[in-house]
Structure 1
Amino acid sequence: MPAAAENVPTGTSLKNGTAAEAKVVLKPDARTLAKVVKQSQTVPRPFPPSYHKGRPLIPIYDIPEDSPYSPEEIDARKKLAACFRLVDDHGWSQLIYNHITMKIPGTNPPELLINPFGLMYHEVTASSLVKITLDGQILDRGSTKYGFNRAGYVIHTALHEYRPDIYCTLHVHHSAVAGVSAMKEGLLPINQEAMIIGPCSYVDYEVGIFDTDADKLCLKDVVQEDLKKKVLILKNHGAVSLGETVEEAWYLIYNLVIAAETQVKTMASGSYIMPPAKCIKQAYDVIQHGANNMDTGKDWEPYLFGEFEWETWMRDLDSRGFVTGHVYQDYPKKASHKSSH
């Protein structure tokens, strides 16, 4: 920073659901100014907080105060939209394809939110998500005129229909994940991230791209076989995480990508070491209780899988001006707090 600088911290602030950019006033001395000019000739100039990856940053939480949506739907919309930005921020999106869906809590029959077909992940906002029924009827197109992708509807609604305990499904084609999906061994518990995920379910590439209701049937037995399995690997294709919360679905994919990258590099060496079964089970059992290894005693409510970690990602997005609309929790969580999807 310049030696003689008067400034207001750069960034955005969230007040009543709106983002306000902070003003910056700098008074650099001549020496500092010369240094900045020299650096600008050799390295890319940093973008202001309203830009990300060289493009205008679109706020995630854009639902107006007079919205007709229920509090549960608003919460679902902002969380799901934030999940799209995390996938994009990590470089795991694929143009306008692939999908993340969320079931709106309290809806019966179930109502799902899905990305509008035509928007890239960095364009998805809380208000632009499309609301549909399990049979593909559009209830609300959101703030765009787009519809939804048929292939995404088929596989994701099938997962929500056959697994009513699941609230969020996240599908990726990450290269390492797709690579592992093409291996006969599948995902091996040879690294800690794979142990965290636990055993996976698998679907053969007999259907290819899911585009008919009949294709749903090949998923039913697979996803209902063991409810503890929350990663579905589509052979020669990619994978889907099944979360009881958005936080769980995201954290599963986050660990899956690391596990797959590690496995691909390990297999390239031609050999690997399989850890003892008891160690694999212990790693899985411990992480399923969430990030609860704390020194605050027993007067707080346990965290759900991925919940504590989600706060760190929301802080990161908000610090860079994404405006998640996330309501941050007091830590440690009070015992009276009730977790929700």
Structure 2
Amino acid sequence: MPGESDNQATLNDRPSVTTLLNSPEFYTELNNLLISDGNKESLETLSNLLLPITKLDATVCKGPVLPVNDIRGIDSRSYSKNERYLRCKLASLYRVIDLYGWNYGTCYNHVSVRVNNSTDQFLTKPNGLAFHEVTGSSLVKVDSNGSKIDPGSTTFGVNALSFSLYASVYKHRPDINCIIHVQTPAVAAVAAMKCGFLALCQEALICGPATSHEIQIDLDTNRLSVDEGVQKSTAKILILPNHGILACGANIEEAWHITFHLILACESQLRAVAMGIDNLIISSDQAAKQVTNTVAAGGGGVNTTDVKWAIGELEWSTLMVVLDRAGYHTGYIYREPLIRFIDKQ
């Protein structure tokens, strides 16, 4: 009996696959599968063979990938070109968070983006969709009150009370256009520490300074907000004691870049503080400034080409290459260096 390696070799043999697909026997077998209501297991097996099953192990979802870029035809006329692209990028961000397992299989973690710098409009995921189900068309457009401007392609709503918290950040921080609320166990633990977010490792320095803010609630309007100190802050890391940390950015790429390093930094801090804070070596202000300047140059700080990358842009583009090759159809527009690289593959 042929082994698994033999089957893989056969699948990789394109002439053999072409012969199989064109054979009368394959047509007959496929036809029998399609007309047989009781043969659902075989249908699923066939579907799994022919469709791009490319979910990584970190996600709870197993099965064919739902394309990110599903805004096509008549539906595309409802949005400007920039908004269509932004929708696909935000949906891709939800997928990346899902693949890393940072949403823990829930549908409540918050991620949002400002539609543009001059309007009171934001895109976010509707309640009820899991992260791996988010597509460009399913995102909901809301105003700062959490009221729906565009419901997207689902009938689900948005938690207006919860969104009011992030709306208050957007209001007082015009430099912030994307917010990711990170609540992994390590991040939540650091958010509850009196010592705050420590500059213990390079990942922490990449994130930059952090400021801590209390969550306030207005009982008259039933709206959440952060304290007035957020107006004076220029940090992209906003700690909400006992409620996780907001990773913010001027765009999706920067917010993702900060989120990635924030989670690594919190993992390191959680392990290090077990030795006692007095035994820890905190990075100097000079070292922190040097890392900040390096990161601000983009390209991971080691860019040797003539192409200028914004913070997190090169890293984000790399992730989109991975997703697109896995069949996610992100709709991402690659810059020239990566276009040449992809074409060579």
TM over 0.5: yes
What do residues 259-310 of structure 1 show as CA deviations (whole Å, max 9, x unaligned)? 00011011123332123331122112211221153333xx53x211100100
Please state if 1:201 is matched with 2:201: no
The separation in 2 between residues aligned to 1:122 and 1:8, in whole angstroms, is 32
Asked whether the equivalents of residues 127 and 157 of structure 2 are also in contact (C-alpha less than 8 Å), the reply is yes
Q: Deviations over 1:95-128 (max 9, x none)?
A: 111211111126x432110110111111111100
Please give the secondary structure, in 1, of the residue aligned with 2:96.
helix
- Structure with higher Rg: it is 2
Letter in 1 for 2:208: G
For residues 8 and 303 of structure 1, the distance between their equivalents in structure 2, rounded to whole angstroms, comes to 40
Contact in 1 for aligned 2:215/2:224 (Cα 8 Å): no
Alignment of 1:201-240 (within 5 A): 201-204=211-214, 214-216=223-225, 218-219=226-227, 221-227=228-234, 229-240=235-246
Displacement of 1:213: 5.5
In structure 1, how many angstroms separate the alpha carbons of the residues matched to 2:260 and 2:177? 17
Which has a greater percent of helix?
Answer: 2
Aligned to 1:322: 328
Q: What displacement does 1:325 show?
A: 0.9
Q: For 1:132 and 1:177, how far apart are their aligned partners in 2?
A: 28
Q: Which residue of 1 aligns with 2:289?
A: 281
Which secondary structure state, in structure 2, belongs to the residue aligned with residue 324 of structure 1?
coil
Q: What is the aligned partner in structure 1 of residue 53 from structure 2? A: 50
Displacement over 4 Å in runs of 4+ = 23-27, 209-214
Letter in 1 for 2:236: K
How much has 1:83 moved relative to structure 2? 0.5
Tell me by how many angstroms 1:135 deviates: 2.4
Q: CA deviation at 1:212?
A: 5.4
Query: Does the 8 Å CA contact 2:145/2:160 hold for their aligned counterparts?
Result: no
Closer/same/farther in 2, CA of residues 278 and 134 from structure 1, 3 Å limit: same
8 Å Cα contact 1:96/1:120 also seen in 2: yes
1:89 Cα shift?
Answer: 0.7
**Superposition deviation, residue 215 in structure 1:** 3.0
On the 8 A contact 1:151/1:210 being kept in 2, the answer is: no
CA displacement, residues 179-228 of structure 1 (integer Å, 9 cap, x when unaligned): 10011111100100001111111123665x99956532x33x2222132x
2:121 partner amino acid: E
Distance 1:305 1:56, change over 3 A: same
Deviation for aligned residue 1:55: 3.4
Listed as ranges, the matches of 1:157-196 within 5 Å are 157-196=167-206
Q: What is the percentage of aligned positions where both structures have the same residue?
A: 36
Structure number with greater CO (CA < 8 Å, separation at least 6) is 1
1:125 partnered with 2:132: no
**Secondary structure of the structure 2 residue equivalent to 1:169:** strand
CA contact (8 A) 1:166 1:244 kept: yes
Query: How many residue pairs end up in the alignment?
Result: 294
CA distance in 2, matches of 1:162, 1:8: 59
C-alpha deviation, 1:156, in angstroms? 1.6
Which residue of structure 2 aligns with residue 102 of structure 1? 113
1:65 aligned to 2:73? Answer: yes
8 Å Cα contact 1:6-1:26 kept in structure 2: no
In the alignment, which of 236, 242, 250 is matched to residue 244 of structure 1? Answer: 250
- Residue 280 of structure 2 corresponds to 272
**1:4 Cα deviation (Å)?**
5.5
Structure 1 gaps, min length 5: 10-22, 28-45, 334-341
Report the CA distance between 1:327 and its aligned residue.
1.0
Q: Which TM-score applies when normalising by structure 2?
A: 0.78
| CA–CA distance in structure 2, aligned partners of residues 213 and 5 of structure 1 | 63
- After superposition, residues 25-44 of structure 1 pair within 5 angstroms as none
> Quick one: which amino acid aligns to residue 264 of structure 1?
L
Contact 2:201 2:268 in 1 (8 A): yes
